[in-house]
């Protein structure tokens, strides 16, 4: 699964300012709701439900909050680089500054899991993470994540 199939430049936030995990999830839900024309509360509640099962902070400053929504027709990704790392209750106890949000249709099944695995592999690459942390604009971050130049097709 190519990330350019689920991520658009308009869904990349190079300097998100949040002070807590809850605020990060709220801001990401608000941005996703605007892009997807969905209910912000529904997205936030879906993400929150998943976090209650265990943190999506996977370690090394990375979090991959995700969930499934009714009446979605495709996988949707959003990326945020935080201005300041926050406590995300990550598995390794380290603060998080790179967040990749993934929303999937209820029936996505294997596609959802494949996308999560692809995102985790990419973000856990130390060179990729270093480049993402050093980048300050959406087009550059998009190019790092997708391996291609920015187009806003998604």
Which residues are known to be catalytic?
Answer: 66
Round to whole Å and give the CA distance between 124 and 120: 6
Closest CA to 99 of 85, 115, 114: 85
H/E element holding 58? strand 57-59
Alpha carbons 93 and 90: distance in angstroms, whole number: 5
Closest CA to 100 of 24, 48, 30: 24
At 2 the three-state DSSP class reads: coil
């Amino acid at each position: 699964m190519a990330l350019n199939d689920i991520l658009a430049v308009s869904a990349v936030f190079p300097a998100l300012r949040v002070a807590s995990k809850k605020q990060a999830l709220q801001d990401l839900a608000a941005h996703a709701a605007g892009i997807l024309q969905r209910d912000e509360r529904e997205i936030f509640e879906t993400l929150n439900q998943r976090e209650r099962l265990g943190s999506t902070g996977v370690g090394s400053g990375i979090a991959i909050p995700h969930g499934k929504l009714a009446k979605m027709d495709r996988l949707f990704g959003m990326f945020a680089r935080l201005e300041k790392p926050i406590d995300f209750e990550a598995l390794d106890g380290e603060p998080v500054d790179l967040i990749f949000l993934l929303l999937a249709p209820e029936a996505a099944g294997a596609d959802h899991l494949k996308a999560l695995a692809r995102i985790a592999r990419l973000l856990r690459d130390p060179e990729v993470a270093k480049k993402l942390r050093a980048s300050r604009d959406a087009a550059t971050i998009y190019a790092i994540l997708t391996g291609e130049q920015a187009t806003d097709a998604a």
